[in-house]
Amino acid sequence: METQEQPSIPKVLIVDDEPQNLRLVGEILRRAEIGFILALNGQEALDAVVTEKPDLILLDVMMPQIDGFEVCARLKKDPQTAEIPVIFLSAATSPAEVVSGFTAGAVDYIKKPFVREELMARVHTHLRLSATQRQLDAESKAKADLLARLAHDIKNPSGAIKGLTNFILEELKGCQHENLEEILSMTRLIQDSADGMSDLVVGILDEARSHSSSTQHTVTETIQVAEVIEYLLHLNHLSAKEKEIHIEFANNAPAKVAISRRILVEMFDNLLNNAIKYSAEGTTIHIHLSPSQFFESGMRFEVIDQAPTINETLRKGLFTAFVRGDSRHTHEPSHGVGLSIVQRLVQMHSGKVGVEASERGEGNRFYIELPTPACH
């Protein structure tokens, strides 16, 4: 028979140099069926935190040797104890003292003598918040671990593809064949796709490491936007050729952006790939790179397709997950998540994304606008 795991009882560390205060608070917690640990001074509190790992600390301010402010400050400096919430208990609650408490890292402040109901309301609130934060941290770590495992699973086959295409390209040197240029072009596309897959893996692993170490990932280099577009034109050449679609690129803004190249590729490739997928055979797709229409300093990337014009109602929800466009010109599967990913990435970088009806007649104008305040 399976046994259900019993929920753990929360544990509160009570710190006060007055034994009667410890007994009073301890009895209140006992009646509420909350576990507790007692400490008579600051050093006992610091030792108990290491051994007992409480979920919450009720900390007196005025204590000999190490006062409550110093105890709290030391706890917040240690990564092992920094996340434990601290509530100060004090008879003195001047504005300066309250500010000192919050500056030291406390989450709340209760004046002595306290009302039992108020104390328990604050305790329950911060225990719930602490439990929720731990759950979110655990889920975030689990997702980062999953991404890392998936990235490692992709890494080996992508490396094999790169190695094989390099071998094929070397073998084809000097060969005579009526379709040699086309074969070389397709092989280079495979090579570029493998390179893109490798870049994706590196990006995922970097982000997973960034999340697990609680450090903010920053982009220190600027990306030439036109170079990314030229790369994507080359990458999508074969799929466009299969539908006899011509792509024209007009570069009217030598823009740079301070964004990860992988993210920029993902943003733009979704729009270009959709344009090829949904446009009719034998049509022309126009790509424009121009100054921003929304931002004083920024760039605008446009993809103008010749797909069925999206009606106004559908346009409003098109960037929501699982909403799909008109697929009358494509037999490829679509899950309707690509544009929602684009919107999330653009919003993360304070940009704008949208779609308008093309003034050319049938077709749609998809655009991404990104501010470029840090670029020169």
* Model confidence band, residue 73 (pLDDT cutoffs 50, 70, 90): very high
Which of 45-49, 230-234, 323-327 is most confident? 45-49
154 pLDDT more than 90: no
Given this model, what pLDDT does residue 97 score? 81
Domain at 11-114: CATH code: 3.40.50.2300
Given this model, what pLDDT does residue 6 score? 52
Alpha-carbon distance of 1 to 322, in angstroms, equals: 41
368 pLDDT more than 60: yes
The mean-pLDDT minimum among 30-39, 138-147, 320-329 falls in: 320-329
Domain ranges of the chain: 11-114, 137-216, 218-376
Given this model, what pLDDT does residue 349 score? 87
Q: pLDDT > 90: what percent of the chain?
A: 33
CATH H superfamily, domain 218-376: Histidine kinase-like ATPase, C-terminal domain (3.30.565.10)
Given this model, what pLDDT does residue 141 score? 77
Sheet holding 352-357, edge to edge: 246-251, 284-291, 298-304, 364-371, 352-357
Q: Does residue 85 have a cis bond before it (omega within 30 degrees)? A: no
pLDDT digits (tens, 9 = 90+) for 223-260: 889 999 998 888 788 788 889 999 999 998 878 888 88
Mean pLDDT of the residues in the chain: 80
Name the nearest CA neighbour of 81 among 56, 110, 44: 56
278 pLDDT more than 80: yes
Tokens encoding 136: 């979110």
202 pLDDT more than 80: no
The mean-pLDDT minimum among 89-98, 113-122, 201-210, 213-222 falls in: 213-222
Pairing state between β 56-60 and 86-90: parallel
Given this model, what pLDDT does residue 2 score? 43
